[in-house]
Chains A and B, each alone.
Chain A
Amino acid sequence: MNILIIEDESRIAKRIARMAHDIFGNALQSIKHINTLHEALKFIQNNSMDLVLLDLNLNGDNGFDILTTAVSESFHTIIVSAYKDQAITAFEYGVLDFVPKPFNRDRLEQAFNRAIAKEKTGTHKIKLLAIKKRGRIRLIPIENLLFIKGAGAYTELFLADGTKELHDKSLEKLEQLLSHSFERIHKSYLVKMSEVKEIIVKSGSKYMAELKNGERIPIGRTKYKDIKARWL
């Protein structure tokens, strides 16, 4: 596990680092603390990591600038902030968890567990997906998204207007964030269930989900039972 802490309060950063060591033990490969926005952006571009812990108020700057960049990356982002009122917005942007200050070890461990155990975000609704496109960040509203196809470490987002975009997060990570309205119907597909028109049973126990726009997506043999139980 490689962790980056973006926090301008030195004592708090040390606290997070110390707890991370305790919680992850040997699983923690590296932990880095950066206290300015500028350096953090540079570090994110040049290094790969698994988890970022971000304070939204860095040196009086608005942390949402860096938040959109962070959530467009392959890693999960956890916000550690004094401003609880920003939690809903942060979740809408697609953060994995929001840890309000002051926090104790249990709360931080809960957030870390979400990251390791691929736990779902549950009731918090994500509204936007940030993608990187030609060096800029674009925010895609979730209602425009029909389904997602895994493509190795990346994913392909299929949008309502027929276009396709790439996202740096893996299908597993997006499944965590989108669990409230999307279902993993196949090992390579995550589909918005409200878009599914019907399920077609083909010979040889092959199942297909037909979307409202006519597109057909295969349903994994093992997934069919779950889906049937939950949605039909």
Chain B
Amino acid sequence: MHMKSWRNFFWVGSMLLVTSCSQHPVFKQYDPVFQPGDQQEWAAKNRNDQDWKKKIALTDGRVFWSRTKIDILEAPESLHPYGIRLHVYGEYEVFWDGVFIGKNGNPGQEAMLAPEGKMWATFIIPTHLTEKGEHLLAIRSSLHYFPDHVGIFGLEIDYYDDILTDRLIETSYMHIFAGAFLIASFYFLFLFLSDKKEYPMLVFSISCFLFFILILTEFIKAYVPIHYSLHHIRLQVIGILMFGISFLIPFYFSMQFPYPKRKLCLIIYAGILLLIFLIKYDFFDFTARIMALSMCVFSFGIVVFGAYKRIRGARLVLLTLLLCVLINFVTSFDKSLYAGFGLILLSMLYLLSLRIKEQRLAYENSLVQSTRLRLELLKKNIQPHFLMNTLTSLIDWVEESPKKGVLFIEALAKEFDLFNQIENQTLIPVSQEIALCRTHLEIMEYRKEINYSWEEEGIDPEQKIPPGILHTLLENGITHSLPLEGNNIKFKLIFESNAHYKCYKFLTFSRGVRQTTSNREEGTGIKYIKARLNESYHSKWDFTSEATAYGWKNNIKIYC
């Protein structure tokens, strides 16, 4: 997993390098000036446009002109024409040094004709008009749908072939990048569907899918012509996707690195994001930027807390976030956005892999533990201390008093039978466990010749408990106790339950073997009980075992 994340990291890194290494520009652009009205002479190169304005306000779709001075810094090689790529709202005609070089829609006729043209249009500039020196770009346009969007939002001059192919190459790389996240999204969705408790996987899957759509939406402009009247739809989609991702990433980190008052913090954060999303700014990218920034700040807080609490993986995620900030400083917003999101998603993937590994180890452990416990339960009846002492006593009874010997054998058979019934279960009805204890006492009476008695209080026979735990307590009680006056030892099982917990009290009324009443060191029996409780109730239990004035007291508490 580690290797994979590093490979991906290098891939993203090298891609960043490819996209950021642009050549020196071959042109210099001056501020455009605008003038409402429509005169063909305005296309001319050497016309006085001193009285034209840097900004104009339009209210309808009438024709207006813009003139932009451009210096060509380097003439193109022969037979390789320059092209110009414009990012401009409206339908327009393009003039270069007074020569009509292209058309994008039908300026002035938008109200009558169907929408035509696209947001990003590329035109060839005739070679003879691109010698080094001053040139003029004049645009005759109209903005029927968004009259307030006057301006040139992007202008690029380079070899015509390069302008067309560069964008496609970049787009193809980004689509490969997006595809990786699409696959991750499906993979983790299926994982989630197979285990519906794993919400981090679902959140990760949705985040990956949103990121996939975000890249697609961003780069669709390179190959799908979008009319300027529809462009805002694309921007809105990007806004919604940004909103989703900006919320989901900190939400995911909140799951992985829990902190106090999580719900409240997340609700407040969602409110802030919504506010940012709903307020309209003149500049669309601003919304995206603030959302990305909020996401970064909030995630940073969560991850720092996780690192402070020494949760596994938090440090690496923190490093990734710092790397994102660094990338943001050295590249443009667009690039750092994709690289940053990509890196953060990879770090989320890393966290998931850590958790999956932890779960797998825990599962394997629990399997081993269950087998071990099963064996331990089975061993109870064949371990030499029990078996050989029982057999020795049995031989003696058979030799001395065959009738009692037969009863002894029957009791033994009953205990073996009960053990066989519970041997492969993790929970059994308490009535079965009690039957086991009573049979065991019968056997021990033959062996020890002590009068054992058994009492119960408040037992609900249907309640379930792990097998062998009361039996183990009974064994301990027998081993460590001496009879009271009259050769008696009494065991008492009390069951109490309320809304919060169920409690089994197991009491031994006897003399202790040792003079001191210090706690017994934890033997295999107590370990078995604790392991069984862990297996069935995880950490929701409590077990105490202590000497009392009358003998011994064990307390098993199971929380609901």
| Structural contact, A12 and B385, CB atoms closer than 8 A | no
Known contacts A36-B482, A59-B479, A104-B395: does B389 contact A12 (CB below 8 Å)?
yes
Task: Identify which of residues 373-406 in chain B touch chain A, using a CB-to-CB cut-off of 8 Å.
Answer: 384-385, 387-389, 391-397
| Structural contact, A38 and B514, CB atoms closer than 8 A | yes
**How far apart are A64's CB and chain B's nearest CB, in angstroms?**
15
Query: Which single residue of chain A is at the shortest CB-CB distance from B386?
Result: A82
B447 at the interface (CB under 8 A from A): yes
Q: Which residues of chain A are within 8 angstroms of B395 by Cβ–Cβ distance? A: 102, 104
B486 at the interface (CB under 8 A from A): no
| Structural contact, A10 and B391, CB atoms closer than 8 A | no
| Structural contact, B389 and A101, CB atoms closer than 8 A | yes
A134 at the interface (CB under 8 A from B): no
A152 at the interface (CB under 8 A from B): no
A118 at the interface (CB under 8 A from B): no
Q: Which residues of chain A are within 8 angstroms of B480 by Cβ–Cβ distance? A: 59-60
B450 at the interface (CB under 8 A from A): yes
Greatest chain B CB density within 10 A among A36, A61, A82, A83 is at A82
| Structural contact, A9 and B447, CB atoms closer than 8 A | yes
Q: How far is the CA of A189 from the CA of B395 in the complex (A)?
A: 45
Known contacts A82-B388, A82-B389: does B513 contact A11 (CB below 8 Å)?
no
Q: How far is the CA of A46 from the CA of B305 in the complex (A)?
A: 69
Q: Which residues of chain A are within 8 angstroms of B397 by Cβ–Cβ distance? A: 11
Q: How far is the CA of A20 from the CA of B241 in the complex (A)?
A: 93
Known contacts A10-B447, A59-B479, A60-B523: does B513 contact A84 (CB below 8 Å)?
no
Kindly count the residue-residue contacts between A and B in the assembled complex, taking CB atoms under 8 Å apart: 66
Q: Which residues of chain B are within 8 angstroms of A8 by Cβ–Cβ distance? A: 448
Q: How far is the CA of A14 from the CA of B394 in the complex (A)?
A: 13
B78 at the interface (CB under 8 A from A): no
B446 at the interface (CB under 8 A from A): yes
Greatest chain A CB density within 10 A among B385, B476, B480 is at B385
| Structural contact, B523 and A9, CB atoms closer than 8 A | no
Query: Which single residue of chain B is at the shortest CB-CB distance from A103?
Result: B392
| Structural contact, B384 and A10, CB atoms closer than 8 A | no
Interface extent on A, as a size class? 20 to 34
B449 at the interface (CB under 8 A from A): yes
B515 at the interface (CB under 8 A from A): yes
Contact of B384 among A38, A59, A83 (CB under 8 A): A83
| Structural contact, A11 and B482, CB atoms closer than 8 A | no
**How far apart are A125's CB and chain B's nearest CB, in angstroms?**
24
A220 at the interface (CB under 8 A from B): no
A164 at the interface (CB under 8 A from B): no
| Structural contact, A11 and B385, CB atoms closer than 8 A | no
Q: Which residues of chain B are within 8 angstroms of A59 by Cβ–Cβ distance? A: 479-480, 513
| Structural contact, B449 and A10, CB atoms closer than 8 A | yes
Q: How far is the CA of A59 from the CA of B450 in the complex (A)?
A: 14
A223 at the interface (CB under 8 A from B): no
Task: Identify which of residues 485-529 in chain B touch chain A, using a CB-to-CB cut-off of 8 Å.
Answer: 513-515, 523
Q: Which residues of chain B are within 8 angstroms of A15 by Cβ–Cβ distance? A: 392-393, 396
Q: Which residues of chain B are within 8 angstroms of A38 by Cβ–Cβ distance? A: 513-515
Q: How far is the CA of A59 from the CA of B513 in the complex (A)?
A: 7
- A-to-B contact residues, CB < 8 Å: 8-12, 14-15, 35-38, 57, 59-61, 82-84, 100-104
Pull 30 A–B residue pairs with CB atoms less than 8 Å apart, ordered by A.
A8-B448, A9-B393, A9-B447, A10-B448, A11-B396, A11-B446, A12-B392, A12-B447, A15-B393, A15-B396, A36-B482, A38-B514, A57-B385, A59-B479, A59-B480, A60-B476, A61-B513, A82-B384, A82-B392, A83-B385, A84-B384, A100-B388, A101-B384, A101-B388, A101-B389, A101-B392, A102-B392, A102-B394, A102-B395, A104-B395
